[in-house]
Each structure stands twice: as structure tokens, then as C-alpha cells.
Chains A and B, each alone.
Chain A
Amino acid sequence: MDLTKLTIREAHEGLKNKKFTSRELTQAFLDRIKEKDREVAAYLSITEELALEQANKADKIIANSKDFPMLLGIPCAIKDNILVKYQKCTAGSRILENYIAPYNATVINKLVENGAVIIGKTNLDEFAMGVSTENSVFFTTKNPHDLERVPGGSSGGSAASVAADEAMYALGTDTGGSIRLPASFCGVVGLNPTYGAVSRYGAIAMASSLDQIGPIAKTVEDAKIIFEAISGKDPLDSTSADYIFKESSVDLKGLRIGVPKEYLAEGLDPEVEKIVKNAIVKAKEKGAEIIDISLPTTEYAIACYYIIVPSEVSSNLARYDGIKYGLSESSENLLDVYLKTRGRGFGTEVKRRILIGTYSLSSGYYDAYYKKAQEARELIKEDFKKAFEKVDVIFSPVSPIPAFKIGEKANDPLSMYLMDIYTCPVKLAGVPAISLPAGKIGNLPVGLQIIGNHFEENKILSVAAQMENMLK
């Protein structure tokens, strides 16, 4: 039996029935990484010592109890912008190349309480800014389905690690599509939770009004198990919501599924469109009611997003000053310490966003850019609010095209930004969405996005699980 191919539930049953130990399971993944990661390059670091220690601890609990948490003894990968105590956390940046996390993120504490085994930290675009992992200063992760193509981003290492059986599941972060896009490109499941459903404490901040941590897994059920473990109110994150996830079963019969006409319009690859339409037909055959809806503010979403995000980035990344932690370029003069440390420590995309954000917030431009974007954001939220008065969930593509070739878009930042067209409006509205595999173009996976109303993860997870069965 190849242990690395199991789902969380299957592995849990195996551990329970003493078919294998957590130590054996963990070793299987460490061996798999040694064999496979040379070509996929999903990991920035392997936390072998920590993993084996956690596995041994899990085995002791398993030996003495009949019932234990689903995640106990199960190996996982963590995106390298989420802090794991006393392990390196680089955020894919030169400026944090040697940074050791002084504490655990809340999600890590929750995983540890559940007995998780952390096997490594995964690659990402620098500070999660990108759609391909090409912005990582260390290396680009490859798509396990085609090594010449990107895995998507920014949680590309996390998605690739799960797709290549180098982790049973992974955590990622999603600010504009960074969980769903790589999940779609790599043929795995990715859940972007409602803003506030999961604590952001210990996730390295990019754009705080949008950042969310979420699971990347092999199946919808696995994603649900992880989400249940990591969600909930955290006193250390004042934007986390008083929310307890409760599973429910939604009948496809009579379910109102909205299909936004703006998401199936010009710019969408016809092959991707075919796959999404096929999923819609399947849902209809099960008795769902398909309703054409309109999200007219879609055309503003990218501009709105790429003003708000850089604005928050320019403020959030002011903390990298060469004094508190990270890279430090010494100089006689304090201003030069700032200028040199940041000039040398940040990569091109990070600099680009800091500049756009600083410009958008600066005197004389604030009204035309930042304020205008905030108004547009409210209109986008109203669009979703109106849509959810008519429908229960929304079906859409995740991205206009499947995984593109490494280097193909490297010199065109705007064409990279446009990849977020179907994923970033969800974030601006703060609603949850899941990406699940819906088909393939050649050997390239294509995801279906299911969007729900605020805190209706139960609905989208239930619908996604049924769609997963039909699309297998």
C-alpha cells in the first residue's frame, strides 16, 4: 500500500486499525519528498526533526486510545508565510531568509492540539504576491502535472505538495485567489474561508482586510476536516468571528445555483468554459435550478483589488526596517539603513506593490485611487449581497486559463493581475469559495469554483462533495 496516496479519512482509519503507525506514515512522506521534490520543488524547508517527534507523540496517543482527532498523526505541509515556532519562516523573501519564528500561528496551535505532524514549509510568491510562485526569490515550484508549467500561486508549493503526494494536506493563504488558483492548476481542492472564519494571527500580513488561511487537500471531505479544526474565534485576532462550523447536508434538488454572465464572457478559454458548463449541466440533472445572474461590478474588481492590496501592502511591509528582525544593511545613518535594507531585501513585485500603494495613498492621489477603490469595493459587496437574495450558491470558473508555462508572463505584471478576475471579487466581498477539480484539458487540471454567502462554508462544502462525486 502506498501510504502517500491516502486521504485523511483513509489514513485515520489505517492508524485506528493499527495497519501502520504515524511514524511509518510520516517516513513515507519524507521518503517521497526526497524522491520527488527534486523535480517539483514544492518545499523551502523540511522540518524532519519536528515531524518525527510529533509522529512519535501521536503513536503514543494512538496506542492508548480508541478515539482520537481525525488529524492526529497525519503529515501536513505549511505555507512558508505561516509561523511555526522555532522553524524558519521566509515568506519567499530575501528579507526573511534567516528569520526564525518566535511563536506559533493560531492555526498551528490548533493543528498541534489536534496532533498534526508538520513535515515542511512550502514555497510561495514573495510575501504571497503572485499567481505562479515565480516571484519566490528562492526558486519556482513546478506543476506536478506538467513540469514546464507553473503550479499557480501564491500557495503554489502547498498545492503542488498535495498534488505530488508529498503531503497529505497543506495550509495556504488566500488574499486574491492564492488558495483556489493553485488548487485549480494542480487538480486538488482548496477552500478560501469567509473573512474572519479563521484566525490570521501568525500569518505574515500582506493585505489584512483580505488575507485568510485555508486548507488545500485531496478531497472536499479532507478540506472540511481541516477547516473544522482551524476555524473559530481567536482573542489574538480581533477580526476573527464568533463562528462555529456546523456541517450540514444540502440537497441539490431545488438548489438555486447562480451563474454570473460576466464570468462566462470574453477572455475565458473555451475549453475551461466547456468544463465549467459540464459541471453546471450535471448539477441541473440532479434537480438544481440554474439561474443566470449578473455581477455588473466585475469589470472594476481587478483595478479595485490592485489598489487596495498594494495600499495595505505599503503599510504592512513598513515593519521590515532592518531593526526588529530580518535582513539588516548597516549604515551610519538611520535613513540609509531603511533604504538599503528594503532596497536589497525586497524583490521586484513587492517593490512594485509598495510603490503603487504608496502612490495611491499619497496626498493628491488618495481620492482618485484609494477612496475610489473603497467605494468600488462596497459596490462589489452589494452585487454579491443582491445575488445571494436570489441564489444559494454561485458556480464559476477559477481562472480564465489552465496552468501557463514558466516564464510566459514573467515580464507582464498586468497580465498576471488579470488571472485573479474570478477569484478576487469573492475576497473583496469577504465571502467563502472552494475550488475543486472539474476536468482536464490534456493533462492540465481545471477547477470549478463554488461561491457561498458569508459563513456558509457548510453549504459550499456539501455541494462541492456531491459535485466531486459526479465529476470523478
Chain B
Amino acid sequence: MISKEQVQHVAKLARLELTEEEIGKMQKDLSSILDYFDILKKVKGKPEKMLLKSDNVVRKDESFPENNNLAGDLILAAPDKKDGYIKVNQIL
């Protein structure tokens, strides 16, 4: 069983605000799900090669001409903006 404090710690890492009720529910759900993951302890033998070692794909850093209004449309989607810039709270 994972503790309430662990749930709160992970929620903070994930930038999620949880209510008291949610913390209790997640504690219960996560515990049973993590218990289920114990089946992986039975996994024997190492794979021959790992997925993450596949080839990298790169492209030239060029703009796509058909998307020339995209920047404006993207800014438009921001909740808080001014003069074509997105506004963000001060961080320092």
C-alpha cells in the first residue's frame, strides 16, 4: 500500500492539485494497480536488443510555406496574450 504522502509527492511532481477525496481514492487505486505490476518480477531473460536504440530521424530546420498563418493562429489559442505574444506570470 502506498502512503498518502507518496500520492501527494507524486501529484506535486506532476503539477496536479488533488482534493482530499481524490488523494484517498488514488491511494487505493494506485496501490492495487502497482500490486498488479508485480507480475513483471517474473520476467526472465534480457531482450536481445532494446527498442530505444533504433535510428534517429532528422529533418532540415525549414518552415513549411503552406503554414504561414499558423503562428498567428497558435497565439490566438493562448488564454492570455498581448500584441502577438503569450503572457506568462513572472517566474523570478
A residues lining the B interface (CB < 8 Å): 99-100, 102-103, 209, 235-236, 238-239, 299-300, 302-304, 306-307, 314, 318, 321-328, 330-335, 337-340, 342-344, 346, 348, 351-352, 354-359, 362, 369, 372-379, 381-382, 413-414, 417
Contact = CB atoms under 8 A, between A and B. Distances in A.
B1 interface: no
B35 to A, nearest CB: 9
B59 A379 contact: no
Given A323-B88, A343-B18, A103 B70 contact: yes
Given A332-B89, A333-B89, A339-B16, A378 B50 contact: yes
B57 A238 contact: yes
A306 B36 CA distance: 10
Nearest to B54: A239
B77 A414 contact: no
Nearest to B9: A362
A414 B32 contact: yes
Contacts of A303: 36-37, 39-40
B62 to A, nearest CB: 10
B57 A342 contact: no
Contact of B57 (A239, A338, A374, A375): A239
Interface centre among B14, B48, B86 (most CB of A within 10 A): B14
B13 A362 contact: yes
B83 interface: no
A389 B70 CA distance: 47
Contacts of A362: 10, 13
Contacts of A339: 15-17
B79 interface: yes
B50 A299 contact: no
Interface in B23-66: 25-26, 29-30, 32-34, 36-37, 39-43, 45-52, 57-59, 64
Contacts of A375: 43, 46-47, 50
23 contacts: A103-B67, A103-B70, A238-B58, A239-B57, A300-B42, A303-B40, A318-B15, A323-B80, A325-B77, A326-B77, A330-B80, A338-B15, A342-B14, A351-B22, A352-B30, A355-B7, A362-B13, A369-B37, A373-B40, A374-B52, A376-B40, A378-B50, A381-B51
Given A339-B16, A355-B16, 19 more contacts: A99-B77, A238-B59, A300-B42, A321-B15, A325-B74, A326-B79, A351-B26, A352-B33, A354-B14, A355-B7, A359-B34, A372-B40, A373-B40, A376-B40, A378-B51, A379-B47, A382-B48, A413-B29, A414-B36
B57 A300 contact: no
Contact of B10 (A239, A299, A342, A355): A355
A460 B34 CA distance: 36
A417 B7 CA distance: 21
B89 to A, nearest CB: 4
Contacts, number: 147
B7 to A, nearest CB: 7
A297 to B, nearest CB: 8
Contacts of A333: 89
B27 to A, nearest CB: 10
Given A303-B36, A346-B16, A373-B40, A382 B89 contact: no
Interface centre among B11, B17, B34, B58 (most CB of A within 10 A): B17
Nearest to A339: B17
A342 B79 contact: no
Contact of B17 (A238, A340, A348, A382): A340
B8 to A, nearest CB: 10
Nearest to B37: A303
Contacts of B58: 238
B14 A358 contact: yes
A325 B14 contact: no
Nearest to A321: B15
Contact of A355 (B14, B67, B79, B80): B14
Contacts of B51: 209, 374, 377-378, 381
B40 A304 contact: yes
Interface centre among B7, B39, B76 (most CB of A within 10 A): B39
Contacts of B77: 99-100, 102, 324-326
Contacts of B89: 331-334, 337
Nearest to A380: B47
Nearest to A359: B10
A378 B53 CA distance: 12
Interface centre among B37, B39, B57 (most CB of A within 10 A): B37
A300 B10 contact: no
Given A300-B43, A379-B43, A307 B74 contact: no
A413 B78 CA distance: 34
Interface centre among B7, B33, B50, B57 (most CB of A within 10 A): B33
A378 B57 contact: no
Given A323-B79, A354-B16, A355-B14, A102 B70 contact: yes
Contacts of A331: 89
A355 B50 contact: no
A415 to B, nearest CB: 10
